[in-house]
Amino acid sequence: MLRRRPAPLLAIAALMIGAMIGMGLPQHAYAQKPVTTQSIDPFGLEVKLTAKTVVYVAGSGTWDKAYDTLIDAFKKVDAYLAGAGLKASGPAMTIYTATDDTGFDFKAAIPLADPPKSPPGRGIALGQSPDVKMLKFVHRGSYDEMNQTYEAITNFLDEKGLDAKDLLIEEYLTDLVSTSREMLVVNVFVAIR
């Protein structure tokens, strides 16, 4: 299955349906599987994110290998934190800075309680997370099922007549590295034009 989070998000549904048609799937395969949420989960809640000092690994990847690419990046950040004796001050996040049909550019970031005393180096950078108003959505379940959450987000934006910017953030409430990829809880933040 193709992993896509293109910008704008409205392209997701068209691309996935086109891919399914091209695979010759039966008509019942086009039905959208329900997104697993809880009644307390926000879906489209407007929030204001404040900038936090983060350490991060920047990179790029393809959607078909997104999970492994992100795991490798977060392992590097975790190793740096452990070696430098630094503590995280919040959940890890992937800040998608550019996306297209085949891949993405990202920052695998972890907020810090205290900034490092010296610059990180070795592929690790110090910076700030975005300070912006965004819409918050929640995904619970498998990493592989996140496409369904992004389809639901696309439908929500379409119904509300909203247009997404090319800035997405996934905030991992469960540890992406150590939690089973089937049991994730992820806040998805979408910037709106």
CATH of the domain at 22: 3.20.80.10
- Is residue 3 in a domain? no
- Is residue 163 in a domain? yes
Given pLDDT bands bounded at 50, 70 and 90, which one contains residue 181? confident
Residue pLDDT, tens place only, 113-151: 888 888 888 899 999 999 999 999 999 999 889 989 999
- Is residue 145 in a domain? yes
Alpha-carbon distance 82 to 182, whole Å?
Answer: 26
- Widest distance between CA atoms in the chain: 59
Q: Which two structure tokens, joined as six digits, stand for 127?
A: 């910076």
- Is residue 112 in a domain? yes
49, 40, 182: which is closest to 109 by C-alpha? 49
- Is residue 111 in a domain? yes
Q: What is the mean pLDDT of the chain?
A: 83
Q: Residue 47 above 90 pLDDT?
A: yes
- Is residue 4 in a domain? no
- Is residue 38 in a domain? yes
pTM beyond 0.75: yes
- Is residue 119 in a domain? yes
**Residue 101 domain boundaries:** 11-192
The number of domains in the chain is 1
